[in-house]
């Protein structure tokens, strides 16, 4: 399941960053995101600790579902920045 999510996330991340911030600064934005993204490495360790204490992965899946339910609407409400078109005459 994590592989499917990561497989969808990685290509979309680059495309979304280029769309929202511009292709010329994608590297800088990804560099600023890197310290936070590295925290994702703690996820499997945390999930295994929860499994050890509860004998179930259910709390992990519930937490992931809640995170997705909160995150998806936030992403859906993002709006593309207005594109400047210097070739267009003023209105």
| The pLDDT of residue 89 is above 70 | no
- What does the mean pLDDT of the chain come to? 84
Q: What is the pLDDT of residues 44-62, one digit of tens each?
A: 899 999 999 999 999 999 9
DSSP state of 81: P
Select from 73, 84, 78 the least CA-distant residue to 16.
78
pTM: 0.58
Which helix (H) or strand (E) segment holds residue 82: the answer is: none
Tell me which residue has tokens 């979304």. 16
Structure tokens belonging to residue 61: 């899946």
């Amino acid at each position: 399941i994590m592989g499917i999510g990561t497989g969808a996330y990685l290509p979309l991340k680059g495309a979304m960053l280029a769309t929202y911030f511009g292709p010329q600064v994608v590297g800088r934005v990804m560099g600023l995101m890197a310290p936070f993204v590295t925290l994702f490495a703690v996820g499997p360790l945390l999930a295994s600790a929860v499994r050890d204490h509860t004998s179930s992965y259910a709390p992990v899946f519930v937490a992931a579902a809640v995170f997705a339910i909160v995150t998806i609407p936030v992403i859906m409400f993002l709006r593309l920045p207005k594109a400047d078109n210097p070739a267009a005459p003023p209105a």
